[in-house]
Chains A and B, each alone.
Chain A
Amino acid sequence: MNIKCNINGKSVSFEAEPLDRLLDILRDTLGLTGTKEGCGEGECGACTVFMNNKLVNSCLVPAMHLQDADIVTIDGLRDFDFFTSITQSYEENGAVQCGFCTPGFIMSTIELLRKSNGKVLTDDEVKSVFAGNICRCTGYDKIIKAVRQLLHTNIEIPKRFYE
């Protein structure tokens, strides 16, 4: 089937089988390799992207649901100031070790920042959004520290993530 959708602000069209995974379309068809595959079963969160402004596992999204969808992946964030703030905070707090989980954690961090909308979230609230992301290296503490630091600075997440 032919699919037209918007990926990282650009409209794209491609051929896919209905059950092809968004994850493979991103990586193999479109060459957007920032999004990683860990488990392929919705457990690890390495493949997390935004779809129609909602956090989803791209390994569980079939091509047939992509018609007219709006997708934002880690590769689409490079030019945004808030992305630099997030990566800096991750670096300063040692929240990246092997880095495999990082793209997924950053997508969930964006969700947290827009949820908090200026309010400081409790550790439980932070953990509940990170429940879908697994990190084998850092033990989470450093990631949570990085997010805490971000929650105390006023970071503007662009409108297109809200609407």
Chain B
Amino acid sequence: MNKKKIFSPKTLTEYHELYSKIENSKIIIFAGGTDLMVGKEELPEDAVFVSLSELEELKGIEKKGDTIIIGPSSTLNEILHSPVIQEELLILIQAIRTMASEQVRNRATIGGNIGNASPAGDTITPLVVLGASLTIFSPRTATERNISFSEYFCGPCANTLDNGELITKIIIPIPLKKMKCYFRKVGQRNAMTITKASLSCFAEIDNDEILDIRLAAGSVSPTVRRLIKTEEFLKHKTISERTVEEAKRILEKEISPITDIRSTKAFRELLTKNLLGDCLRSILLYEQ
């Protein structure tokens, strides 16, 4: 058993050339392997693995004009310690700080977190409110295309990528400095925890008035997406206890959490509403 076929292409062109040999097999892209190794016994016996470890094109973090481009093979710790990310994308730092452990963050990649497409993936809600998009490489045609997160997800732990397709870039517009950000996740304990509920927010506030706001919640819907109705309600409101309570009622209708071993539906609803309250109060109260 366990006779796995592995390929480690060094370039995307090499991957394209190799692809015709493997296109009829189930292809499993292997980045840091922290998700895949945990479930390795359940992987299909006849799967073909494409390891990204030698694909230099997928590494690195760079600022390009008014965007930041993160290579999906960047590890969570590389992102956490990157001066560019610390300077421009505080919300991503806040999120990654809550993820896994030093040991896991040294191996786990951001591409793997997105690739896994879990509704509890902690880099995903920040990327959604940041308005990030993904570049996807199709090994059949050797072409790249861009997609948004709403085109990327198609269900819990499911994405729209075709067999063997790769995320090659994560493209993030640099947010304006005046935008305030918020990330919080709640789990069983502080460190090393899988998210029961999380909330990411960007808001532009002027004299207590919300000029613009973007919200996304994790673990409370089959896929992560923006909370458009709650956002619409909050735009051009000044924050008072009444607006907070009203916003919570709208939020409740907009999410659809499930009961699982980590939490009940009702508890997740309450958590997410409380996170929204905490978020609205804290972005107003604290200068960041």
Q: Is B173 among interface residues, defined by CB-CB distance under 8 A?
A: no
- The one of A17, A41, A54, A128 in contact with B106, judged by C-beta atoms closer than 8 angstroms, is A54
Distance of A20 Cα from B1 Cα, bound (Å): 12
SS of A interface (majority): mixed
User: Which A residues are in CB contact (< 8 Å) with B53?
Assistant: 64-65
In the assembled complex, how far is the CB of residue B85 from the closest CB belonging to chain A, in whole angstroms?
Answer: 18
In the complex with contacts A60-B33, A61-B33, A19-B40 CB distance below 8 A: yes
B107 touching A56, Cβ below 8 Å: yes
Q: Is A103 among interface residues, defined by CB-CB distance under 8 A?
A: no
A55 touching B4, Cβ below 8 Å: no
Distance of A51 Cα from B103 Cα, bound (Å): 10
- The one of A41, A108, A111, A127 in contact with B191, judged by C-beta atoms closer than 8 angstroms, is A127
- The one of A17, A19, A129, A132 in contact with B100, judged by C-beta atoms closer than 8 angstroms, is A132
User: Which A residues are in CB contact (< 8 Å) with B8?
Assistant: 64
User: Which A residues are in CB contact (< 8 Å) with B32?
Assistant: 60
Name 14 A/B residue pairs within 8 A (Cβ), A-sorted: A18-B4, A20-B2, A42-B34, A42-B100, A42-B103, A45-B103, A56-B106, A57-B107, A60-B107, A61-B37, A64-B6, A131-B191, A132-B101, A133-B101
B34 touching A60, Cβ below 8 Å: yes
Residues A105-126 near B (CB distance < 8 A): 108, 111
In the complex with contacts A60-B38, A62-B37, A132-B4 CB distance below 8 A: no
Distance of A48 Cα from B51 Cα, bound (Å): 23
Distance of A76 Cα from B32 Cα, bound (Å): 25
User: Hey, what's the 0/1 contact readout for A3-17 against B, CB within 8 Å counting as 1?
Assistant: 000000000000001
In the complex with contacts A131-B101, A132-B101, A64-B51 CB distance below 8 A: yes
Residues B93-140 near A (CB distance < 8 A): 100-104, 106-107
User: Which A residues are in CB contact (< 8 Å) with B102?
Assistant: 55, 108, 111, 128-129, 131-132
In the assembled complex, how far is the CB of residue A121 from the closest CB belonging to chain B, in whole angstroms?
Answer: 13
Distance of A48 Cα from B105 Cα, bound (Å): 13
User: Which A residues are in CB contact (< 8 Å) with B40?
Assistant: 19
- The one of B2, B77, B104 in contact with A19, judged by C-beta atoms closer than 8 angstroms, is B2
Q: Is A21 among interface residues, defined by CB-CB distance under 8 A?
A: yes
B4 touching A43, Cβ below 8 Å: no
Q: Is B3 among interface residues, defined by CB-CB distance under 8 A?
A: yes
In the assembled complex, how far is the CB of residue A12 from the closest CB belonging to chain B, in whole angstroms?
Answer: 20
Going nearest first, the 9 A-B pairs with the smallest beta carbon separation are A132-B101, A131-B191, A54-B106, A18-B6, A132-B103, A60-B37, A57-B103, A131-B101, A17-B2
User: Which B residues are in CB contact (< 8 Å) with A64?
Assistant: 6, 8, 30, 49, 51, 53
Distance of A57 Cα from B30 Cα, bound (Å): 17
B3 touching A59, Cβ below 8 Å: no
User: Which B residues are in CB contact (< 8 Å) with A60?
Assistant: 32-34, 37-38, 104, 107
Distance of A82 Cα from B106 Cα, bound (Å): 24
Q: Is B18 among interface residues, defined by CB-CB distance under 8 A?
A: no
Residue ID in chain A nearest B33 by CB atoms: A62
Q: Is B192 among interface residues, defined by CB-CB distance under 8 A?
A: yes
Distance of A43 Cα from B188 Cα, bound (Å): 14
User: Which B residues are in CB contact (< 8 Å) with A45?
Assistant: 101, 103
Distance of A128 Cα from B77 Cα, bound (Å): 13
User: Which A residues are in CB contact (< 8 Å) with B43?
Assistant: 19
User: Which B residues are in CB contact (< 8 Å) with A133?
Assistant: 101
Residue ID in chain A nearest B32 by CB atoms: A60
A128 touching B191, Cβ below 8 Å: yes
